[in-house]
Structure 1
Amino acid sequence: MNSLFAQLTLADVHQDVARNIVSLRESQDLFDDLTDDPAEWLLAQKVEDEVKPPPYRSRMPIIDRPFEDADWFNAIVWPFKHWQANRFSDGSYGVWYGSESVETTVYESAYHWYRGLLSDAGFDRQIVIAERKVYWVACQAALLDFRNAAEEHPDLLHPSDYVFCQSVGTRIHREGHPGILTPSVRRPQGENVAIFNAAVLSNPRHNCQLTYRLEGRQIVVEKQPGAAWITLDVANFL
């Protein structure tokens, strides 16, 4: 561990990074399973809005609009509020992940989506569809640069064993570093950022909507419905 940190440099990052999250192409009313009357949907939504505390407080509330609140929460805040174990977290703190390109987020997210499906019996006997949204998010931070460290520390890029990476993440979290820049495990020509401090992220903007369609041994990714954009072989995920 000490030898790894001793060789690190800082990468001064001032750029947009892509954040890929689960999201429907067409929104669905949250109360449509309670009643068939749209007027009652509106009433239920009004009641919820009156009792639910707002998740986000703008630094400039005079000029912010409601959809900016939603974008901020969905694209930035979510992983810092809902902790879960992942490559650089043992689940006791939140880490936000983004990539240098939309393509890299597809490779990363498709892997985790497919691995999650493996626990569902019978999923491989039917077509499975998922819908996702990609945001551009501004990142401005001095990040620990792990891009050259993987040659001497291959466990940083292990496809499934996160023990070493989580120990690295625990130290980064404890010492208060904003985040890291690292090669993508799922797309070797890509790069990822893992952010531990939401303060270095800002200005979320919608980039595109994606559909993932698992058909047999392939995941077909669409930007436009019905038109394949990227096709991935799930054999590479096993």
Structure 2
Amino acid sequence: MVADPAAHAASYRGRVIRMVEGQHRIATNRLADDAAGQALLEALADDVKPMLPEAARRLPWLLAAPFRYGLGRPSRFRGGDVLPGIFYAAEDVATAVAETAYWRLVAFARSPGFQRPRTPTPMSAFAVQVSTERALDLTQPPFDAPPGRWTHPTDYVATQALGAKARAAGIAALRAPSARRPGGINVAVLDPAALVPPPAPHSSWAFLATADGLIATREMRAEALRFSASGFGIAGT
């Protein structure tokens, strides 16, 4: 572990891509008869949600939401008992799709007897700019050795320790190799202030569950990505 992450901080500016379910559009409109009723439902829901960190309150909810949630669900750079959450994204859409496919298949594997959807699930990719003077690039020295240092498929001890130390040192973002797509690059935004709104639509996808994985198809394009649980090393599916 590097003793002082802040000593290796550098600027990062770039567009990143994140996937969300197509149902990210406001769902309460199906529960209310008019705009006033929907606004009331949204306010009541907000009252029981975890608090947003101060820096995230200026952001559109699509960007702010990842910082609100995650307690009890560990991720690569954050322990399960830690809030705020982390905004995870990727530098290209294929990596964003692969990361999302992995977690969807993990959810299937953790739900014995679950009947997989027979119809495609709509997914949306959106892009947003990240800009900070305090980023760590884990693909560069002194973080890039030994190979595979940050990409173990299930053991997050080293990455979570780095994430905690980076946050304590005021690091805003981590650029890291993807564990799900060889050659792919992920960006973990630790500080909401590094996000530059607004988010912009990127592409629409449909995720279709298969017997041993799923197929991600991009709408209006002859582009399909296939994933299997065994290919990700996921057991129990």
Task: Compute the TM-score of the two structures, normalised by the length of structure 2.
Answer: 0.77
Cα 1:227–1:176 shift into 2, 3 Å = same
The letter for the 1-side match of 2:95 is T
Matched, 1:230 2:229: no
Cα 1:200–1:155 shift into 2, 3 Å = same
Matches within 5 A, 1:192-211: 192-202=186-196, 203-211=198-206
Q: Could you say which residue in structure 2 is the equivalent of 1:17? A: 16
The letter for the 1-side match of 2:68 is K
- The whole-number CA distance in structure 1 between the counterparts of 2:148 and 2:61 is 34
Structure 1 residue 11: Cα displacement: 4.4
Structure 1 residue 147: Cα displacement: 0.6
The letter for the 2-side match of 1:136 is A
Structure 1 residue 117: Cα displacement: 0.9
Cα 1:28–1:144 shift into 2, 3 Å = closer
Contact map agreement 1:127 1:216 (CA 8 A) in 2: no
1:88 to 77, 87, 92: 77
- The whole-number CA distance in structure 2 between the counterparts of 1:80 and 1:125 is 29
Cα 1:128–1:185 shift into 2, 3 Å = farther
How much identity, in percent, do the aligned residues show?
23
Structure 1 residue 154: Cα displacement: 3.6
Q: Could you say which residue in structure 1 is the equivalent of 2:28? A: 30
Q: Could you say which residue in structure 1 is the equivalent of 2:172? A: 178
Most deviating of 80-89 and 152-161 = 152-161
Structure 1 residue 145: Cα displacement: 1.1
Task: Compute the TM-score of the two structures, normalised by the length of structure 1.
Answer: 0.77
Contact map agreement 1:220 1:228 (CA 8 A) in 2: no
Gaps of 5+ in 1: 35-40, 56-68
- The whole-number CA distance in structure 2 between the counterparts of 1:96 and 1:228 is 26
Contact map agreement 1:4 1:153 (CA 8 A) in 2: no
Contact map agreement 1:128 1:215 (CA 8 A) in 2: no
Structure 1 residue 132: Cα displacement: 1.6
- The whole-number CA distance in structure 2 between the counterparts of 1:95 and 1:226 is 31
Q: Could you say which residue in structure 2 is the equivalent of 1:104? A: 95
Contact map agreement 2:150 2:159 (CA 8 A) in 1: yes
- The whole-number CA distance in structure 2 between the counterparts of 1:119 and 1:10 is 38
- The whole-number CA distance in structure 2 between the counterparts of 1:197 and 1:210 is 28
Gaps of 5+ in 2: 47-56
Most deviating of 216-225 and 171-180 = 216-225
RMSD: 3.1
Cα 1:77–1:29 shift into 2, 3 Å = closer
Structure 1 residue 198: Cα displacement: 0.7
Deviations 1:105-149 (A, max 9, x none): 011110111011112223477746432211110011131111132
